Structure 1
Amino acid sequence: MKILFLCLITGPLLLLSQLVRAQAIEPEEEKHYANPSVEGMPRGRGVVIGYERLPQFDIDSRSDNPTIGNGTGRVRRNNKWDMRLMAPVLNKPRTKLLVGVTYNVEEFNFENVEPSSYSLYRYLEDRDLKSLGLQVAFLRSIDEERFYLIRAKGELNGDYTQKDINITDYLKTTVDLAYGWKKSPYFSWGVGAQLGYTFGRRRVYPGVLYNRTFNDKWGVESIFPANFRVRRNISEKTILYGGYRLEGASYNMYVNITPLSQFQDIELRRTDIKALLRLEQEIYDFLWFSIEGGFRQYYRNRIYDVIGSRDELINNDLAGAGYIGVELYLVPPRRFSQK
């Protein structure tokens, strides 16, 4: 439900008055239709390029399958690259339709990976786990107080290359639904659900939207339990956040090394919890950057013997680690948001 940061957009209604005389058309008082955003929230991001790194953490793997066995190792670094594009294709006072494209790459680098090393580590070493996604988001304002949101997303998640890609082998779909109330320009809330992979396996997860600005300095932005952030508006050009975020992923992998190759297609599912501190800074009007750091704890990281299976093949215990990430992104120019 990442598009719940949409900026408030208003539109005038026209009123026909005194048909008997000149039939003059005069603007009615401007009407503010409901949406999730509140005063003090930053402008929505259209293009994002990001990078994140987790250095130096231990991994301990256990399997009940005797041919796989157990293993221990140390990850030198876990890198993630993130690119996103969101663009409006319909932008009316009561109706918004956005289309977005995402591309993420994650890789693991291990210490001392040799031919005799644990098979999972050998397979993951320097291997790109990719996610290429297309999403459509629809926001409808029912009136000045109520709104609803629908988002559908399809992703190709896994270790594919351009030569061997088969869409049906890697496709993952997510659907978000939300219904909310805009109580004032400073407070909106709602309820919803996601059919997705936040906790690794595809399930329905409930959520509560809560966006509130208390004064010109402090506010809260949250979709509980997925994330919660306290916002500090230092200035119009500088925003500080503190809070947490849940992240989940599911990658389909087709292995070609023994003994994992006996299963051919396996699935990696992971869920992480991040405690974070984030600074967002304007460079020039429509160009911003952010730096984020904190502690990332792996809640669950497991390998399954068949894609979509409930039978666990390997249970990975990954030590918590600090992380740092940076982003460069574009937002609508300030003059557009002030209209």
Structure 2
Amino acid sequence: MKIAKLLLGAATIFCTIGQAQAQGPETEILEEYASPGVRGMGKGKGIVIGYERLPQFDIESEARDNRLESGSGRIRRHNKFDVRINAPILNKPQTKLIFGIDYKFEEFNFTDVTPAAYDLYEYLEDKNLQSIGSQLVYLRSIDNRRFYLIRLKGELNGDFTKDDLDTDLIDYFKSTIDVAYGWKKSPDYAIGVGLQFGYTFGRKSVYPAILYNRTFNDRWGVEAIFPANTRVRYNLNEKTLLFAGYRLEGASYNLTVDKGNLSEFGEIELRRTDVKGILRLEREIYDFLWFGVEGGFRQYYRNRVFDEVGSRDEILDNDLSGAGFVRVELFVVPPRRFMEKNK
């Protein structure tokens, strides 16, 4: 759900503006220029390193093409790793331009995979499904009430190697455009609407979102990009934040299978969508260095394979059992002295 990441990322990056200029929880004094962030939100994340792991769960694959067979198996481990870096290249009171790069991959390890095993599972075993992306986020504050966002992003998604990128770079490339418009009602309340034109679920389509950030008092708040992401925030203190909520996640990968029955299709596409119920803790380690820990339950909504990239013709429908998960993060935020200087 990339529009969710856009809005939430922008909110956390720019929430410091509102926090720095707001006077107190009982006032309604707006900052000079509007932003998506509200008082009490966590600091913007400049560098994030994350690792996620899901334990054992079952998988059943139903063939939707007569050239394939159905199968079943057990995934003993599902790992995900990601690194994100965001940095301002223009930082004026009314205009912000943020450049970001990210790298992530996920891998599946199956129980008892042999050369005679089911084609899809044998192929995915220990295979790195990768994504390399870069983006530009433009935030423009019209006045102290209104703002808008534009994000341009390009990604390479799939099972590619360095040699693949040297020869078939364009085959793995996908672009995304996000736009959002919002209103800052008070230092504790921001709303907005947004659209994404991109490949969140494989085929290029338009997806809507509604931003709702609200701080009710010194402890409680809500951060939401409905319907993709909603969480309740509890500020234990300025160094510790607790969250509870849900998050929708989606991904698509271009796969080039050269063995088994799947090789008849050439380049295929794996698309997945899942929903997670989440409990999360964020805690300061030292000034600019924080860590995050989250856990919960992941339930797959869709996990399907298509006969070619962007196609509507489904050849496999995978049913994955629900499973618990745990994720850990280490991230860098603006130093406290920098925040004090901005005040």
Q: Give the shorter-chain TM-score range.
A: over 0.9
Alignment partners' CA distance in 2, 1:207 and 1:66: 38
Q: Does 1:222 align with 2:229?
A: no
Residue segments in structure 2 that go unaligned for 5+ positions in a row: 1-5, 22-28
Letter in 1 for 2:101: V
Q: Deviations over 1:12-33 (max 9, x none)?
A: 9xxxxxxxxxxxxxxxx99521
1:163 partner SS? helix
Q: Does 1:6 align with 2:13?
A: yes
Bigger share in helix: 2
1:337 partner SS? helix
Q: Does 1:288 align with 2:295?
A: no
CA RMSD of aligned residues (A): 1.6
CA contact (8 A) 2:255 2:267 kept: yes
1:116 partner SS? coil
Alignment partners' CA distance in 2, 1:30 and 1:102: 34
Tell me which residue corresponds to 1:259: 261
Tell me which residue corresponds to 2:196: 194
Letter in 1 for 2:17: I
- Identity over aligned pairs, percent: 61
CA contact (8 A) 1:201 1:250 kept: no
Alignment partners' CA distance in 2, 1:126 and 1:233: 40
Q: Which has the larger radius of gyration?
A: 1
CA contact (8 A) 2:201 2:252 kept: no
CA contact (8 A) 2:17 2:31 kept: no
Alignment partners' CA distance in 1, 2:315 and 2:200: 20
Tell me which residue corresponds to 2:24: none
Alignment partners' CA distance in 2, 1:190 and 1:266: 37
Letter in 2 for 1:147: F
Tell me which residue corresponds to 1:21: none
Q: Deviations over 1:124-180 (max 9, x none)?
A: 000000000000000000000000000111100000001122221101111111000
Tell me which residue corresponds to 1:272: 274
1:295 partner SS? strand
Alignment of 1:66-215 (within 5 A): 66-165=66-165, 166-215=168-217
Cα deviation for residue 62 of structure 1 reads 0.7
Letter in 2 for 1:336: F
Alignment partners' CA distance in 1, 2:58 and 2:197: 32
CA contact (8 A) 1:201 1:269 kept: no
Cα deviation for residue 68 of structure 1 reads 1.4
Tell me which residue corresponds to 2:243: 241
Q: Deviations over 1:192-249 (max 9, x none)?
A: 1112344443321110000000000000001101100100000100000000001000
Alignment partners' CA distance in 1, 2:41 and 2:112: 46
Cα deviation for residue 3 of structure 1 reads 2.6
Q: Does 1:299 align with 2:306?
A: no
CA contact (8 A) 1:200 1:248 kept: no
Tell me which residue corresponds to 2:3: none
Q: Deviations over 1:280-313 (max 9, x none)?
A: 0000010000000000010000000011110001
Give the TM-score normalised by the residue count of structure 2. 0.91
1:115 partner SS? coil
Q: Deviations over 1:251-295 (max 9, x none)?
A: 001111111111110000010100000000000010000000000
Residue segments in structure 1 that go unaligned for 5+ positions in a row: 13-28
Letter in 1 for 2:43: R
